[in-house]
């Protein structure tokens, strides 16, 4: 790793996973982590909401943390189908993703809504992983840095600190496509985010910045060595422990 910050390797399972096979994958991951004398990074799995409680119970006391993939901005109420940050915390979660591009796109989530969700997460005692990223059209038109700055400044929760906040940069065009930006592109965006944070937070240099978007064992080491990259948000390659663990190993 290129930083003294403790890395975070997070897996976003998205809408994948049923109880029995997911438990086996988590057990395998916990076993691999527990074989280390000391794990020099934080490991996070964000399963579907249906699995948070059972996986949190299974992971309790292990080197693996469990998180939610989304939360509602309200603590409770008439919001059929939604899950509050308090409910995730009660189920055993330690983290929650907010503002993932699939939420921003599929559910029309604005920066303001993402900020409200992140603030709900902090209030519930969860660590908020705020996701930002540009579309292919925005990148090709030279808007990447301005789009990222806008998302960062308007999505950050009030009260965010290095202890309760993580930023994940995922170029939308790289998610699940097998395409990744160049190392230079990642370095430019992460340095830009760090610079933006320094104007917004007192302890900006302690906030971990993750890279996400088609991260896999074959490219993880190169990406994790980029300046201001403090870990990864992994999609498809996190579903199987045998695929996810080589990514974790790059930061041990």
Domains annotated for the chain, with CATH where assigned, are: 8-249 (3.20.20.70)
Q: What is the mean pLDDT of residues 232-236?
A: 97
Question: Is the pLDDT score of 43 beyond 80?
Answer: yes
134 catalytic per annotation: no
Catalytic hit among 25, 102, 170, 190: 170
**pLDDT number for residue 2:** 56
**pLDDT number for residue 101:** 95
* Per-residue pLDDT reduced to its tens digit, 170-229: 999 988 888 889 999 999 999 999 999 999 999 999 999 999 999 999 999 999 999 999
Catalytic hit among 25, 72, 100, 109: 100
Q: Are 251 and 9 in contact (CB under 8 A)?
A: yes
Question: Is the pLDDT score of 131 beyond 60?
Answer: yes
**pLDDT number for residue 75:** 97
100 catalytic per annotation: yes
pLDDT band at 1 (very low <50, low <70, confident <90, very high): low
* Per-residue pLDDT reduced to its tens digit, 155-181: 999 999 999 999 999 999 988 888 889
**pLDDT number for residue 212:** 96
Q: What is the mean pLDDT of residues 105-110?
A: 96
C-alpha distances (whole Å) from 92 to each of 35, 55, 144, 145, 167 are 24, 8, 36, 36, 22
**pLDDT number for residue 32:** 96
Mean pLDDT of the chain: 96
**pLDDT number for residue 36:** 87
The pTM of the full predicted model, rounded to 2 decimals, is 0.97
Residue linked to tokens 């789009």: 147
* Per-residue pLDDT reduced to its tens digit, 5-36: 999 999 999 999 999 999 999 999 999 999 98
In angstroms, the CA 30 to CA 28 distance is 5
**pLDDT number for residue 179:** 83
Q: Are strands 231-234 and 208-212 parallel, antiparallel or unpaired?
A: parallel
Q: Are 83 and 32 in contact (CB under 8 A)?
A: no
**pLDDT number for residue 175:** 85
């Amino acid at each position: 790793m290129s930083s003294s910050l403790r890395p975070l390797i997070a897996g976003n399972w998205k809408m994948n996973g049923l109880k029995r096979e997911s438990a086996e994958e988590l057990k395998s991951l916990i076993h691999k982590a527990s074989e280390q004398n000391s794990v020099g990074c934080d490991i996070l799995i964000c399963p579907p909401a249906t699995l948070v409680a059972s996986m949190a119970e299974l992971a309790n006391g292990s080197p693996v943390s469990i998180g939610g993939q989304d939360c509602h901005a309200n603590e409770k109420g008439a919001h059929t189908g939604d899950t509050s940050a308090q409910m995730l915390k009660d189920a055993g979660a330690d983290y929650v993703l907010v503002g993932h591009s699939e939420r921003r796109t599929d559910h029309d989530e604005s920066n303001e809504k993402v900020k409200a969700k992140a603030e709900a997460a902090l209030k519930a005692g969860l660590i908020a992983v705020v996701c930002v990223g540009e579309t292919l059209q925005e990148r090709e038109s030279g808007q990447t840095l301005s789009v990222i700055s806008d998302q960062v400044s308007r999505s950050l929760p009030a009260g965010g600190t290095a202890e309760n906040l993580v930023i994940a940069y995922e170029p939308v065009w790289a998610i699940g496509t097998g395409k990744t930006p160049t190392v230079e592109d990642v370095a430019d965006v992460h340095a830009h985010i760090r610079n933006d944070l320094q104007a917004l937070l007192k302890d900006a240099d302690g906030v971990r910045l993750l890279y996400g978007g088609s991260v896999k064992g074959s490219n993880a080491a190169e990406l994790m060595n980029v300046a201001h990259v403090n870990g990864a948000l992994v999609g498809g390659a996190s579903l199987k422990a045998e695929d996810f663990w080589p990514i974790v190993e790059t930061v041990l």
